[in-house]
Structure 1
Amino acid sequence: MGATLSFGESNYGSQVAINHGQIINQVYQPNLDDKLRVVHGAAFDSYVDQHEDECFPGTRTDILRQIKDWASSPQGRCIFWLNGMAGTGKSTISRTIAQAFRMEGQLGASFFFQRGEGDRGNATRFFTTVANQLMAHIPELRPLIQKVLQNDPNISTKSLSEQFKQLILQPLGEIAQTVPQVQRVVVVVDALDECAPEQDVRMLLHLLPQIKKSPVIQIRIFVTSRPELPIRLGFRKISQVEYQDIILHNIPRPVIEHDMSIFIHHKLMTIREEHDLPSLWPDQKSIRALIQMAVPLFIFATTICRFIADHNWDPEERLNKVLEYQNLSLSSKLDGTYLPILDQLLIDVDGMTEKQELISDFQRIIGAIILLFEPLSLEALAKMLDIPESKICVRLKSLHSVLHIPENKTSPVRMLHLSFRDFLVDSNACDKTPFYVDENQTHQQLTTRCLAVCRSMRKNMCALSSDGIRRVDICPKAINHYLSPELQYACRYWAYHLIEIKDVDSMIDEALIFLQKHFLHWVEGMSLLGLISEVLGSLDHLQSAIPDHKHSGMSAFLQDAKRFIRKNRQIADEAPLQLYCAGLIFAPQKSIIRKEFESELPNWIYQVPEINKNWSAELQALESQSNSVHWVANSVHSVVSSVHSVALSPDGRILASSSGDQTVRLWDTATGGLQQTLEGHRVYLSHDEIVRLWDTATGALQQTLEGHSNTVDLVANSLHSVTFSPDGRILASGANDKTVRLWNTVTGGLQQTLEGHSGSVYSVAFSPDGRLLASGSRDLTVRLWNTATGGLQQTLEGHFELVSSVTFSPNGRLLASGSWDHIVQLWDTAIGGLQYTLKGHSGPVSSVAFSPDGRLLASGSYDSTVRLWDSTISGLQQTLEGHSDPVQSVAFSPNGQLLASGSWDYIVRLWDPATGDLQQTLEGHSDTVHLVAFSPDGGLLASSSWDHTIRLWNIATGGLQQTLKGHSTIISIAFSPDGRLLASSSGDKILRLWDTATGALQQTLKGHSSIVFSVAFSPDGRLLASGSSDETVRLWDTAIGGLQQTLEGHSSIVFSVAFSPDCRLLASGSSDKTVRLWDIPTGNLQATLDTEGTVTKLKFSRDGSNLITNLGTFGFQSRHIKHAANAFFKTPAISIEQGQWINMNGKNILWLHPEFRPSCSAIHGDSIALGHDSGRISFLRFRL
């Protein structure tokens, strides 16, 4: 926190800055564009692909002409699809036309997919990368995309459809007014078949044609791929008028032979010149043979020419070696491409032992290179495989024709073409070459090595100076310094190598031992790398690969780990070291992760709050805001729309929620990620008389069914809920007339009228077998009816507000009810008993829905969240003894040995902060208790309530001593130093002084023109200070009640006032974000401290050297402030920052989970008490 101090009577000024510590001697300041996560090697002209070939002059002329004509024609279709089998030259054509379009100023973006190249092998960052390049090509897009990043910094982690809509489609539509004329821009997408998984390929093919909607910027998309089935099916769903295609392997053979001849002639002539070979080399017969061997695979020509050109060998011998294969019976063209290269490795290798060693090394080294999910440098590869660099260099020496082996040992070694891997791992290859690579064995070896590398991880790997340091403030160079390339790889991919093993059982024990010791270290590493969103996916994949009955220990660990990550994903991404702080402190007592890593708890805390023993039923909380989604814990706040209805897909993987912003959103129940936003209805209840059907995979509008009559609108105000019976024969409706009606759907006739509710019926639901009907009403009850007879079976009572939603579990044994009391309740339908109460929402619950297997329950609320609950957990919400409603006020006794709390439940409770035990319950108020305060000797407690009374309690006996009446709404109370007087302020603009012994009113002080928010006695008790919304501070004589001074200077409400111990200074805190210091004898302003927020709590330390506020503690460098050049500095203390962080010594150290965020708080020395909306009180103590 920073602060600026300016003096009222001088020209001096000083800056007070809080030093949060430098990280590796520098603080990284990320650019806004850094939030747009891109794949840096994906563009056609990237450094990693700079040596890749383009089409040789004179070749592919007809294809290139067709592509250029398509791109320049006003009638050109949106997409051009070039498809062909492996090795036919698709990527070479892509690079050629990308270069040509760039030279002509038409290239907007390019993305070259490549399996085994990290994020180039998936679509996670496809749209962010394309958007980043489009910004550079079309400058008008930059401010629009940057605005998206400002509104939703996490857009890069959203679903593909959300990224496409916000980063591509909407910005292109918005620039229509700023771009003077129509522009045609080409986007090149190469090797779409190398994108995984198939669902993402399908999604891309669904989204990309929509780009034609852009009115001014005409985007043309050039796509290449192999003719894989998912891609063929994807294009079949695209209208033929939206794309044209060419199939490379169907091009007439003479055309291919012509192009191949030009290419091979040129390459061989170059080899002849470089090796000073005879002018007649090679003869035409050899050239013709090579051409026939190559057609139609350009990869053959390219690879074989590299093989012949290798300077370490004789080109003539190598050409002759290749031609030996022309008459062999080869099963595929790839055999002729790669067998000559592999067979030559064994030439001149004598002895079986040497051959076996060579083959073994090849399988370990090259097997790893072709199966890595991301290429590694020679240096990193050696450390990953635990093989000397020198040995790897020797084994790679003869493979330059199939691998890119850079001279720089820190650059990655990568395959030149994916077909090399395809050949080596083909099960038929084991009969053709001893160099066959066993995928299963190689993945097992890589898993073992990844785990070995990850065992070097420890807590705080980057040596951060504070547990609250944000990841975005850590210099990327520091992360790369402490997390080596091989460690980064192992962190990200060890689980994926493990699940590729067929006999996964053999690795489970090793993996479990690793997780038990390094789980948090691994998650910290993933967080530092910005990959926390991938952790849950890794855990899910692991769990799905492990049979529960064989590995119960691993299954239990993974289940607990998933709950831990769901709860802490947001803060781990923001501040990774909070995994060991907030993550462990707020984990349930019986959490496996908490038990395993308890020794990692920070040493600055020695009393943690009491936590439930088990995980609650709440699995996730999903919040939608401003077209973005974030965890409920997110600190970003803006206007949100309430959730009106929720439903789970049959497999439980997708949750649909509808809300007041007229959209339907689809969520991934495993990760909490937003998958789709469906827009179309004009109002959220579909009073637009239209039913719409959507494809949940793509978000496409499939059908629009119109036909509802206007009579729907006529009854919309009275009809709250309708539902069909399972067999579709009965329609039930609930309405304002307090009845439930059953209708015959065939005849339209009324079958039954169910009467019994005393209020409007808001929700109806049939049991799965159709025998029961549940109804929820404004009368606070749920009723169960027999649908055959219309008889009332059960009346379920327990809610405190209207019941807005009811639903049965799939087996009919449970009924869930959601209410405006913010609670979801689960009932036993057989006996009508309440089974569980689910608390967590902060607004009315509008909808509830079970998953098809009954394990998940979703609830939607007007608090704008959707929450997922595990309905199988018993003892769901273990409630610690305390208040039954939100806590409004807490205060420590002067010696810190007691804490008082006041609540909406009208009760005052006294607690032992050391143990958390309840000491006394003080009852008497008839409304919310919103203020509590101890007398200076700790013998009395004053409590103020919305019942317009102040009550004085004897702490020793718990007895009520006095009830003070006279105010309207009481705003502030304070004891005099000797405890004989109590001052109170009110919304009636008046201050009152009371005799605490007799309860008599001593003085009535009038003078403020608006609400008085704060009062404080001077240490000698002679003066009383008051702060008001009239922006003034007033000083009163407590003996006679006279006004002494009016201090003016604040520009907003004065929320807090405090005297210095020597009575010379008065401090006042205001919503104008200043603290002002006044000289009491003269009334002059001495200093103004600019703050980052409103100071609502203010007091001096006992020696007067510190000013303690809710925003932190500031110390005086001089006792006489007007003579100090630098009057304030931040001092060691604890405070609560923005209700989300506990701050110590000027640094955020502990993030508060949403359920532990305080409705009120009190600090006493090293202790903090937090009062919560749940009625709970939490205690924490710190080592200062």
Structure 2
Amino acid sequence: MAELGVAASVIAVIQLTSQIVLLLGQYGNKVKSARDDISRLHNQLHSVAEISKAAQQLLEEQNNERLKTSHKLHVHFRDIQARLQELEREFNRSGTQTAIGRIRYHAFTWPFKAGKIEKLTRDLERCTQAISTALQIDQANLLLQLDSNTSLLDQNIIIGNLQVAEGAGFDSHAEAHNPTCHPQTRVDILQKISQWSEDCRANPMLLLSGKAGTGKSTIARTAARSFATLGILAASFFFRRGEGDRGKALRLVTTITTQLVENQPALVPYVKDAVRMDPRITQKSIREQFNKLILDPLSKAHTIENQPSLIIVVDALDECNDEDDIKLLIELFCSPRTTRNLRLRFLTTSRLELPIRLGLNTVNGAYRDLTLDEVPSHVIKNDIKIFLEYEFKKIRNQFNASVTENRRLSASWPVPSDIHNIVDMADPLFIVAATVCRFLADRKTGSPQGKLNMILEHKTKSLGTKLEATYLPILEQQLAGLSIHERYTTIEHVRSIVGSMILLANPLSTHALAALLDIPQVIIDDRLDLLHSVLVIPMTPNSPVRLFHLSFRDFLLDPENQVHNPFLVDQKQVHQKLATHCLRVMNDRLSKDSCELKWAGASRSGIDPDLIKERFPAELQYACLFWTYHLKEGCQYICDITLVHKFLLDHFLHWVEALSILGRISEGISCIETLLSLLETERDARLKNFVTDSRHFLLAYASAINLAPLQVYFSALIFAPETSVVKNSFLREHPNWISILPDGADSGWSQYELTLDRHQDSVTSVNFSHDSNFILSGSKDRIVRIWSASSGELHCTLKGHGKPVRSVVFSHNSELVASASDDQTARIWSTATGELRRILQHSDVVLSAVFSHDSKLIVSASNDNLVRIWSADTGELQKVLEGHQDTVNSVAFSHNSELIASASDDKTIRIWSTSTGELQRILNGHNSLVTSVVFSHDSKIIASGSYDCTVRLWTADTGDLVFTLNGHKGAVTSVTLSRDFTFLTSASLDMSIRVWSTRTNELQQALHGHRRGVTSVSLSNESNRIASASDDKTVRIWSIDTFNIHQALEDQNGSGPQNNLSYEYGSLEPHKETFQIRTLNDTRKYDTEERHGNLEVNIGFLSERVPFSRQDLETLGHLGFLARRYGEMCEKGPNPFENNDDCVGPGISKDKRWITWHGSNLLWLPEEFRPWCSAVLGSSIVMGCDSRKVYLIKITEKTRQ
């Protein structure tokens, strides 16, 4: 019957609310002195009505048995009903009639005393928030339409797919021993935090700042626990420097998301959809993860108006190890939540270090600041005194309970003067008081009184810092009663063991630390036994040891303590030793096929996690991940080149295999980058060549190795170029069960460094940011993407255009992005948040949009023959430039923003005045439509590209033609000039990018790699990298350092692939003395006499002569025909020889990415080896590839390893 009671209360509340609202309307017109009270009460009654109607709807429409939480709200609705009835009585008493609504007009006097309405509205708000929270839980269950088991399963699926930072939550095992505030301390600060959390108009981020040791984390932990009790804690993340993923922002979003779905079940389907739609979301940028995994699900989940805000607690943001990530997180935390129902807040704590201050400067005060450093000293001292008295009482009671009566401490211990001295010593650092208490409570190191005397004595004679007075007595216990020699040995042990612990990139257990340092564990245990007051030392030997507080680390590393601190740690020396230890562990433990997979194509995902832990214990995992980190931190250059080089020559492939098995292959690329930075000034060319080549090796094959670890020995070695240093260093590892004719490897690495291949259609435009850190791309798939220029990681996705995107560009300050589209709009986006700022509406397709140098103006080009100038700030149209007789394809500002150049299908380039819009001059000379135009950095030269296959340079002031560059075999689609005007790059539909000298007018280099026409090209600000976009759906990044910019090509006509290649259908027919090849064009016969050995056969559509033996040719003849389409004109016909799931022997996977054996993946195929057509006979495969080559691959029965 409980549901009947709550239903009756809801109905009564709705009726009372409606009546009182009508009455307030009458009072509002007649009582001028109470307008604020009337407005406040009216708004709160509106909220009551909304929440009541939501509850009524749930009660009427849903199965009552499923609304268990809502039924508990009977008491809250009864409370609201009682307060509304009290209102009714007050109004009745103030009038001359007894029925509400019939009060005479002369009786309109406000019946409430000052403060009465404020208190009433607070009470009503408290009740509505409690009801809202409970209804949200019920709505979540109804929204999911799943029973509890299914919901739990979905949560487990999500959690299983998201990598988290272990121990980052406030209630994690790692945080279990860390304290919360005593109920009588920090009262004012906690009250302010509570008020902020309840204020719906408050800033989205509250920053609690203060110096190290002032108690920020303890306050954050207390607030998180309080929020959790109230049901408004969404998640928490406690950063900790030196604790692996807890010291990085890499896992912050996924960790928060995991907690979010546990605390807010309504989000489960939306997070699940986000992961399903983008399985690689965890590899995306922090911004994209934040938007897709947190903001989007919260905005989509149906929530009740006026529900309380959800709070995410982020502690110690300054301990995040990446300064750029710190600034980004501040920006994300402070971003306004524009969705109506999205109330998400961030309680953040931090020291005000430089990265924090820089981040705060960018958000223009969109946060609230609470500073512990500004709390009055007497308040802090009183809080510390309360804390000490409470802790000392516990210490006294525990000690007295464990000793005989004659040893017990008196009831007055410690005396008030001692407490006063400790308070003075600690103020304002709570960490000092907490450390003292832990030290006194540790029974292993003596009696509480004896240790208290030691601390007070040290305080009296010490001239050092408060941290020295705290930590030095604890460390000096290690030396009590030792001889000089023993003291020296002990100090060295402490420096080695504790010094290593505080400098580890990730905490290790005592067992793993002993293995890493090659020190007996008993010695480590002995040294740590006396340090329980400064270290969290678990009872189990396999759990990591952690610092209680980073101030202990700071004390040991501070060179200013050198005079008084014999335990001072030499940071660089310890890092060097750790790097050496890492190399020793890897040399001893790494080997081929560590997990005994035995199959070349065995998937990483199928490896038993327990087997991974067994074969890769914690110390080996640590060594694999952090050896280059310690090398870098230990010195400016590699001290022991021989040691590093030998490790790489012996174990590089084993190390890469290990990283793959651990799921950390991307960290391997970072390690190699770190190693390269240490070799910049190194004389050992052999090591530098190896490391440089290993970078190419990993970038090229990381995706394959990440899928199947053993591919590092197979696909990577087979397809690596013949000149690869890594390949030639590991000839002993080459598989002998496979052969490829002709040899599959190229002579050298591809000229491009990275391929970005996430677009689903032609990429039409590409642009470097001014700082060269990011690359922008636009595509016919209607999406704009922002990428990391160094790693190729997708940083952000901008969606909104309804038709293909034609042009993209960063503003000069990189804060904005402009995109032009066939949907007749140009759009302006925020680079930082991805938020759409402005839409510039046109009357036809927009083909180009660029910013002025000061980022204040945008000029756009359109299919309607017009050029338009807009305000970037307001989106207001300022000028329309008329004159072109056909479509305008490209526009550009001069560097000084005084001129605008426009290129058109009318074969002309026009120069306009930015300020007046007047036409300055017309440049004639191209014989076909002009596709691209750009100014030199000094604004004196204009470069243009055209469908007439030429690039032309003009003077900006006179319009004179300077020179014409010929060489492209197809239309020129894009041109750009280097900053110093020494060279020019051009892109063409002939699939090449060409680099020209502007001094000699000669071609310097042609870059080949794209499989279709190149549509756009951009130079980095330093002019040392090129980004190109293509109809092959990719963006490629090229390093100019990989070729000699001043050396002309020997073959200036180009030797790369040609455009619009026609691939023919043909058959191969062997005969006794001849080998006949039939194509659609002709039939050719080749002599096959034995004396010829390997024949040079030019097969129809091949661009080069390929050597095949007679036996190979006979095999090819039995394979039937090779099908290939004519460019884009003809679809490929069915091939009866292609692989299927139940095939026997070799085959090709359906996605063309793998050669298979008996249906199982065997050999991963790089992009250029993936066949458009293939045929299989016996143990051989013939493949016709997009590179215009045919390959014959033979596989023997020895395929298991």
Q: TM-score range by the shorter chain?
A: 0.7 to 0.9
Q: Which runs of 5+ in 2 are unaligned?
A: 1-154, 401-407, 808-818, 838-854, 856-871, 1044-1048, 1104-1111
Q: 1:767 to 1:173 in 2, by over 3 A?
A: same
Q: How does 1:735-754 map to 2 (within 5 A)?
A: 735-743=904-912, 750-754=919-923
Query: Does the Cα contact within 8 Å between 1:799 and 1:821 map onto a contact in 2?
Result: yes
Q: 1:670 to 1:936 in 2, by over 3 A?
A: closer
1:143 corresponds to: 269
User: Which stretch shifts more, 258-267 or 549-558?
Assistant: 549-558
Is 1:203 the counterpart of 2:328 in the alignment?
A: yes
Q: 1:893 to 1:503 in 2, by over 3 A?
A: same
Query: Does the Cα contact within 8 Å between 2:1169 and 2:1187 map onto a contact in 1?
Result: no
Letter in 2 for 1:310: D
2:778 corresponds to: 658
Q: 1:299 to 1:600 in 2, by over 3 A?
A: same
Q: 1:797 to 1:90 in 2, by over 3 A?
A: same
What is the DSSP-based 3-state SS (H/G/I as helix, E as strand, rest coil) of the residue aligned with 2:443?
coil
1:516 corresponds to: 649
- The superposition leaves residues 1101-1130 of structure 1 with CA deviations (integer Å, 9 ceiling, x where unpaired) of xxxxxxxx522665xxxxxxxxxxxxxxxx
What is the DSSP-based 3-state SS (H/G/I as helix, E as strand, rest coil) of the residue aligned with 1:96?
helix
What is the DSSP-based 3-state SS (H/G/I as helix, E as strand, rest coil) of the residue aligned with 1:103?
helix
Is 1:1111 the counterpart of 2:1104 in the alignment?
A: no
1:478 corresponds to: 611
2:341 equivalent among 200, 216, 222 = 216
1:593 equivalent among 726, 745, 749 = 726
1:408 equivalent among 521, 540, 565 = 540
User: Which stretch shifts more, 1171-1180 or 408-417?
Assistant: 1171-1180
Query: Does the Cα contact within 8 Å between 2:1079 and 2:1100 map onto a contact in 1?
Result: no
Q: 1:603 to 1:697 in 2, by over 3 A?
A: farther
1:303 corresponds to: 435
In the aligned structure 2, how far is the partner of 1:918 from the partner of 1:772? 51
In the aligned structure 1, how far is the partner of 2:164 from the partner of 2:306? 29
2:1136 equivalent among 1081, 1092, 1097 = 1097
In the aligned structure 2, how far is the partner of 1:493 from the partner of 1:528? 16
2:357 equivalent among 200, 212, 232 = 232
1:615 corresponds to: 749
1:918 equivalent among 1096, 1112, 1122 = 1096
In the aligned structure 2, how far is the partner of 1:309 from the partner of 1:864? 66
2:312 corresponds to: 187
User: Which stretch shifts more, 735-744 or 896-905?
Assistant: 896-905
1:629 corresponds to: none
Is 1:643 the counterpart of 2:763 in the alignment?
A: yes
1:275 equivalent among 377, 381, 399 = 399
In the aligned structure 2, how far is the partner of 1:649 from the partner of 1:732? 21
Alpha-carbon distance, 1:225 to partner: 1.1
1:1102 corresponds to: none
Query: Does the Cα contact within 8 Å between 1:468 and 1:577 map onto a contact in 2?
Result: yes
1:722 corresponds to: 891
TM-score (norm. length: structure 2) = 0.74
1:315 equivalent among 439, 442, 448 = 448
Query: Does the Cα contact within 8 Å between 1:127 and 1:167 map onto a contact in 2?
Result: yes
In the aligned structure 2, how far is the partner of 1:498 from the partner of 1:939? 58
2:457 equivalent among 313, 317, 324 = 324
What is the DSSP-based 3-state SS (H/G/I as helix, E as strand, rest coil) of the residue aligned with 2:231?
coil
Query: Does the Cα contact within 8 Å between 1:813 and 1:828 map onto a contact in 2?
Result: yes
Taking only the aligned residue pairs, the percentage that are identical comes to 38
Letter in 1 for 2:348: V
Query: Does the Cα contact within 8 Å between 1:1113 and 1:1133 map onto a contact in 2?
Result: no
In the aligned structure 1, how far is the partner of 2:1167 from the partner of 2:936? 35
1:171 corresponds to: 297
Letter in 2 for 1:343: E
Q: 1:423 to 1:156 in 2, by over 3 A?
A: same
In the aligned structure 2, how far is the partner of 1:424 from the partner of 1:307? 18
Q: 1:207 to 1:890 in 2, by over 3 A?
A: farther
What is the DSSP-based 3-state SS (H/G/I as helix, E as strand, rest coil) of the residue aligned with 1:436?
coil
In the aligned structure 2, how far is the partner of 1:86 from the partner of 1:353? 36
Aligned length: 965
2:367 corresponds to: 243
What is the DSSP-based 3-state SS (H/G/I as helix, E as strand, rest coil) of the residue aligned with 1:164?
helix
Letter in 1 for 2:1096: L
In the aligned structure 2, how far is the partner of 1:823 from the partner of 1:605? 33
- The superposition leaves residues 540-589 of structure 1 with CA deviations (integer Å, 9 ceiling, x where unpaired) of 22222333353433332222122112112222222222122221212111
Alpha-carbon distance, 1:917 to partner: 6.1
In the aligned structure 2, how far is the partner of 1:333 from the partner of 1:107? 36
Greater length-normalized contact order (CA 8 Å, ≥ 6 residues apart)? 1
Q: How does 1:887-906 map to 2 (within 5 A)?
A: 887=1063
What is the DSSP-based 3-state SS (H/G/I as helix, E as strand, rest coil) of the residue aligned with 2:602?
coil
Query: Does the Cα contact within 8 Å between 1:909 and 1:921 map onto a contact in 2?
Result: no
What is the DSSP-based 3-state SS (H/G/I as helix, E as strand, rest coil) of the residue aligned with 1:269?
helix
1:158 corresponds to: 284
2:994 corresponds to: 825
Q: How does 1:691-706 map to 2 (within 5 A)?
A: 692=828, 694=830, 704=873, 706=875
What is the DSSP-based 3-state SS (H/G/I as helix, E as strand, rest coil) of the residue aligned with 1:1159?
strand
Is 1:859 the counterpart of 2:1028 in the alignment?
A: yes
In the aligned structure 1, how far is the partner of 2:1170 from the partner of 2:1125? 23
User: Which stretch shifts more, 100-109 or 377-386?
Assistant: 100-109
Q: How does 1:929-940 map to 2 (within 5 A)?
A: none
Is 1:50 the counterpart of 2:89 in the alignment?
A: no
- The superposition leaves residues 573-625 of structure 1 with CA deviations (integer Å, 9 ceiling, x where unpaired) of 22222122221212111111111123222333234733221112111111234
In the aligned structure 1, how far is the partner of 2:665 from the partner of 2:415? 60
Q: 1:796 to 1:232 in 2, by over 3 A?
A: closer
Q: Which runs of 5+ in 1 are unaligned?
A: 1-28, 626-639, 926-932, 948-968, 973-1012, 1014-1054, 1056-1095, 1099-1108, 1115-1130
Alpha-carbon distance, 1:923 to partner: 9.1
Q: 1:921 to 1:1111 in 2, by over 3 A?
A: closer
2:1156 equivalent among 1140, 1143, 1159 = 1143
Letter in 1 for 2:216: K
2:1061 corresponds to: 885
Letter in 1 for 2:393: M
Q: 1:362 to 1:900 in 2, by over 3 A?
A: farther
User: Which stretch shifts more, 287-296 or 871-880?
Assistant: 871-880
In the aligned structure 2, how far is the partner of 1:937 from the partner of 1:533? 41
Alpha-carbon distance, 1:810 to partner: 3.9
Query: Does the Cα contact within 8 Å between 2:1124 and 2:1172 map onto a contact in 1?
Result: no
Q: 1:1176 to 1:838 in 2, by over 3 A?
A: farther
What is the DSSP-based 3-state SS (H/G/I as helix, E as strand, rest coil) of the residue aligned with 1:500?
helix
What is the DSSP-based 3-state SS (H/G/I as helix, E as strand, rest coil) of the residue aligned with 2:507?
coil
TM-score (norm. length: structure 1) = 0.75
Q: 1:1166 to 1:923 in 2, by over 3 A?
A: closer
What is the DSSP-based 3-state SS (H/G/I as helix, E as strand, rest coil) of the residue aligned with 1:123?
coil
In the aligned structure 2, how far is the partner of 1:452 from the partner of 1:1113? 46
Q: 1:217 to 1:55 in 2, by over 3 A?
A: same
In the aligned structure 1, how far is the partner of 2:615 from the partner of 2:1060? 49
Is 1:35 the counterpart of 2:161 in the alignment?
A: yes
2:674 equivalent among 504, 520, 541 = 541
What is the DSSP-based 3-state SS (H/G/I as helix, E as strand, rest coil) of the residue aligned with 1:461?
coil
2:578 equivalent among 422, 437, 446 = 446
Query: Does the Cα contact within 8 Å between 1:858 and 1:869 map onto a contact in 2?
Result: yes
Letter in 2 for 1:736: D
In the aligned structure 2, how far is the partner of 1:36 from the partner of 1:899? 58
Alpha-carbon distance, 1:970 to partner: 11
Alpha-carbon distance, 1:188 to partner: 0.9
In the aligned structure 2, how far is the partner of 1:289 from the partner of 1:943? 91
1:427 equivalent among 556, 559, 569 = 559
Q: 1:337 to 1:887 in 2, by over 3 A?
A: farther
Query: Does the Cα contact within 8 Å between 1:643 and 1:861 map onto a contact in 2?
Result: yes
User: Which stretch shifts more, 66-75 or 871-880?
Assistant: 871-880
- The superposition leaves residues 841-894 of structure 1 with CA deviations (integer Å, 9 ceiling, x where unpaired) of 234322112223433211112333211123344579997999993655576656
Query: Does the Cα contact within 8 Å between 1:888 and 1:1160 map onto a contact in 2?
Result: no
Letter in 1 for 2:311: V
